[in-house]
């Protein structure tokens, strides 16, 4: 009878272990710079991502081996190691950002052996007045968490003043070489230097991109090849959740006149969209090498929303970006669309650079000038920049019937042709004549106008036929 009871008990315990499961997570190597008195914790989707819960400290049976046994149900395990807080989270081999670890746990008794490569920030270039506001700031609009950085002006603690705020995308690349994908913008170094020269300072809030979710979050419209389309929700997060948190917890000047948004590439696209869509929140947009090509809807969006308040919009694009400088062409097309939508030339800067590339070094170089033009209240023109207007523009755009082509430099033997949105030639090349282009025979939609001077392509502009 006793043996039968013991057998039944063992069978029950085995069944329970199989149902709920026990996973032993064993760390076999830790970074050489790990403080000897620090505990190592595990945090993940099994404990609410609590980075310092004492129930999840790994035991050290000897040497550099640390382990913990978790009682889990089968499923996908997501986790990271810390030394008790998100400020001491593990990093990649270079001391940079390490995405969440994942493990498909099948249940039962299992052992997972891993190594901790570094502690994030061990090779940090971020200045002392940069900190991580949160490693897991919740995005209710998308039901995700994200790392948020914050830069405070050098005199923030002592001044008692309120400051303007700049929201930036791709936070990994803004302040720190250790977390950057391909170089950092050096925003903290640039702003500290400008502060030393008399600038009054600005708070910068940098939001890490979502890795695999970056395309989804940075694009308000889906692309037939690359997908996307969650940009409106992401912009809503900045406006409805993050900005109120920053304004409630830091000394900010919350009015739109003191609030800007900036990014590059797809980050430039979403910053541009958010600024136009939420003109009641933002008055400044920095759009660097913006991926307007991703969705032509962005042009129609500007045309439909129009100007609701005074803005400052600073755009740059490199002539080495895209085939035949397509990035510059798209930027000037957006400039034309903005002026047609009611924005004045004094509100806009569109700069192209012969050496400009789709790279962080380019955006880092151009950041100080963009910041100064956007945030220095007394500035009314693009001071200290080689400001060029587009080679030509069309007006009005959008248009119901006819448009007028205007040129900064006269075209010689001027000709033009019109293509559909998918690149089909719908009007063959013909002389420009008096510059009036008649659209009566075209249906509503998006078109491209290509202008020629002495038989050479002078530029391309997007047209919207109502």
Instruction: Report d(CA 69, CA 21) in Å as an integer.
Output: 10
pLDDT at 347: 95
The residue ranges of DSSP E strands in 83-169, in sequence order, are 90-91, 101-105, 109-115, 118-119, 130-139, 144-151, 165-168
CATH number of 130-375: 3.40.50.1820
Encoded tokens for 352: 């192209």
Q: Name residues whose C-beta falls within 8 Å of residue 104's C-beta, 6 or more positions apart in sequence.
A: 75, 76, 77
Look at the block and give the residue holding tokens 């200045």: 127
Type and span of the H or E element at 4: helix 2-20
Quick check: 99 and 11 in contact, CB under 8 A?
no
Q: Do domains 130-375 and 392-465 have the same CATH topology?
A: no
Encoded tokens for 359: 């790279």
pLDDT at 448: 82
pLDDT at 377: 55
Q: Are strands 65-71 and 118-119 parallel, antiparallel or unpaired?
A: unpaired
Quick check: 385 and 366 in contact, CB under 8 A?
no
Instruction: Report d(CA 445, CA 241) in Å as an integer.
Output: 36
Does CATH place domain 392-465 in 2.60.40.10? yes
Q: Are strands 425-431 and 415-420 parallel, antiparallel or unpaired?
A: antiparallel
**Per-residue pLDDT tens over the stretch 251-291:** 999 999 999 999 999 999 999 999 999 999 999 999 999 99
Encoded tokens for 48: 């609410």
Q: What is the mean pLDDT of each run of 10 residues along the chain (466 residues)?
A: 54 53 95 92 95 96 93 95 90 83 95 94 86 92 96 96 98 91 92 94 97 95 96 98 98 97 98 98 98 93 94 95 84 90 92 92 96 73 50 81 80 87 83 88 85 77 84
Cis peptide, bond prior to residue 396, ω within 30 of zero = yes
Q: Where are the domains of the chain?
A: 19-119, 130-375, 392-465
3 state DSSP class of 413: coil
Instruction: Report d(CA 295, CA 37) in Å as an integer.
Output: 53
Neighbours of 249 (CB within 10 A): 10
CATH topology assigned to domain 19-119: Immunoglobulin-like (2.60.40)
Beta bridge partners of 115: 29
Quick check: 314 and 343 in contact, CB under 8 A?
no
In this structure, what DSSP letter does residue 146 have?
A: E
The residue ranges of DSSP E strands in 216-334, in sequence order, are 259-264, 284-288, 312-318
């Amino acid at each position: 009878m006793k043996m039968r009871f013991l057998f039944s008990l063992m069978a029950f315990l085995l069944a329970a272990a199989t149902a709920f499961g026990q996973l032993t997570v064993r760390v076999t190597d830790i970074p050489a710079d790990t403080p000897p008195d620090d505990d190592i914790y595990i945090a993940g989707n099994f404990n609410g991502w609590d980075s310092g819960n004492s129930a999840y400290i790994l035991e050290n049976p000897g040497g550099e081996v640390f382990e913990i046994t978790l009682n889990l149900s089968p499923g996908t395990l997501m986790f990271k190691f810390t030394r008790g807080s998100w400020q001491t989270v593990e990093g990649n081999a270079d001391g940079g950002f390490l995405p969440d670890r994942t493990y498909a746990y099948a249940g039962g008794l299992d052992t997972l052996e891993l190594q901790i490569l570094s502690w994030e920030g061990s090779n940090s270039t971020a200045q002392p007045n940069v900190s991580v506001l949160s490693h897991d700031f919740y995005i209710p609009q998308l039901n995700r968490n994200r790392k948020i950085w914050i830069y405070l002006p050098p005199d923030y603690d002592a001044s008692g003043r309120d400051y303007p705020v700049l929201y930036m995308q791709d936070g990994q690349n803004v302040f720190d070489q250790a977390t950057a994908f391909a170089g950092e913008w050096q925003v903290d170094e640039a702003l500290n230097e400008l502060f030393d020269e008399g600038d009054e300072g600005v708070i910068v809030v940098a939001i890490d991109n979502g890795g695999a979710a970056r395309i989804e979050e940075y694009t308000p419209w889906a692309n037939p090849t690359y997908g996307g389309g969650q940009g409106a929700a992401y912009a809503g997060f900045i406006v409805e959740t993050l900005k109120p948190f920053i304004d409630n917890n830091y000394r900010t000047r919350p009015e739109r006149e003191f609030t800007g948004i900036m990014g590059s590439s797809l980050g430039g696209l979403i910053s541009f969209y958010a600024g136009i869509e939420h003109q009641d929140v933002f008055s400044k947009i920095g759009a660097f090498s913006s991926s307007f090509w991703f969705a032509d809807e962005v042009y129609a969006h500007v045309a439909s929303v129009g100007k609701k308040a005074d803005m400052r919009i600073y755009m740059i694009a490199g002539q080495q970006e895209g085939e035949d400088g397509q990035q510059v062409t798209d930027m000037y097309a957006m400039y034309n669309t903005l002026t047609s939508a009611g924005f004045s030339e004094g509100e806009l800067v569109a700069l192209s650079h012969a050496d400009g590339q789709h790279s962080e070094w380019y955006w880092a170089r151009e950041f100080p000038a963009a910041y100064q033009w956007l945030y220095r209240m007394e500035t009314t023109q693009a001071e200290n920049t080689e400001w060029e207007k587009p080679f030509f523009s069309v007006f009005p755009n959008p248009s119901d019937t006819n448009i007028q082509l205007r040129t900064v430099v006269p075209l010689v033997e001027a000709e033009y042709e019109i293509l559909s949105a998918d690149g089909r030639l719908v009007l063959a090349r013909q002389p420009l004549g008096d510059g009036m282009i008649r659209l009566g025979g075209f249906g509503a939609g998006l078109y491209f106008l290509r202008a020629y001077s002495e038989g050479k392509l002078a530029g391309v502009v997007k047209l919207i036929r109502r």
